[in-house]
Copies of this chain bind each other. A is one copy, B any other.
């Protein structure tokens, strides 16, 4: 099978590519260091599979997966990520991702997952299977935007002018987010939202 490896961390990308290439039935035809590059490679090289990190520059792995699905491209996606955030997993499933592994798993699982997915199956790290039933993102679009900026250290006034809202509205959104997430203040709220993948 012809595979692309998309991962921004050079060492891991190189190591995985080299190891996968050693397998008789796997050929690594491209390596991408960010989402845009991955997308271009998938279009031009038409691989069977793509091993993809989520947190990459320019386009996240989930963005890429969604575009592949829209374009009805046959390339199957196996997500390989550090974090078991429920938001990520749910979004990946909706994007038609076939495999979802944690970077914490042993490497053997990667080859196994690729073969399983290539054969039409699925492959999901056992730690993640249960997350299908976990909480959905309770935040609205606006609440997310506001919370993201608050997490970057901006005050209500600054957030307001960036989003062309009134300063009171911003505080209302923050207050709602804080309550929805059962936090004490904006700091805890961003922590919680982040941990669940609700801001990405």
A positions within 8 Å CB-CB of B = 8-12, 14-16, 18-19, 80, 82, 101-108, 110, 150-155, 183-189, 191
**Cβ–Cβ < 8 Å partners of A16 in chain B:** 11, 15
Contact A10 B187 (CB under 8 A): no
Contact A153 B187 (CB under 8 A): yes
**Cβ–Cβ < 8 Å partners of A18 in chain B:** 15, 19, 107
Contact A11 B110 (CB under 8 A): yes
Besides A12-B12, A18-B19, 4 new A-B residue pairs in contact (Cβ under 8 A), listed by A number: A10-B103, A10-B107, A18-B107, A186-B187
Contact A191 B152 (CB under 8 A): yes
Contact B185 A153 (CB under 8 A): yes
**Cβ–Cβ < 8 Å partners of A187 in chain B:** 150-153, 186-187
Min CB gap A147→B, angstroms: 12
**Cβ–Cβ < 8 Å partners of A189 in chain B:** 153
Contact B184 A106 (CB under 8 A): no
Contact B11 A103 (CB under 8 A): yes
**Cβ–Cβ < 8 Å partners of A151 in chain B:** 187
Name the residue among A82, A104, A108, A187 with the largest chain B CB count within 10 angstroms: A187
* Complex Cα–Cα for A122 and B108 (A): 33
**Cβ–Cβ < 8 Å partners of A110 in chain B:** 11
Q: A82-B9, A152-B191, A191-B152 are in contact. Are A107 and B185 (CB under 8 A)?
A: no
**Cβ–Cβ < 8 Å partners of A191 in chain B:** 152-153
Residue in B11, B185, B186, B188 whose beta carbon sits within 8 Å of that of A106 in the complex: B11
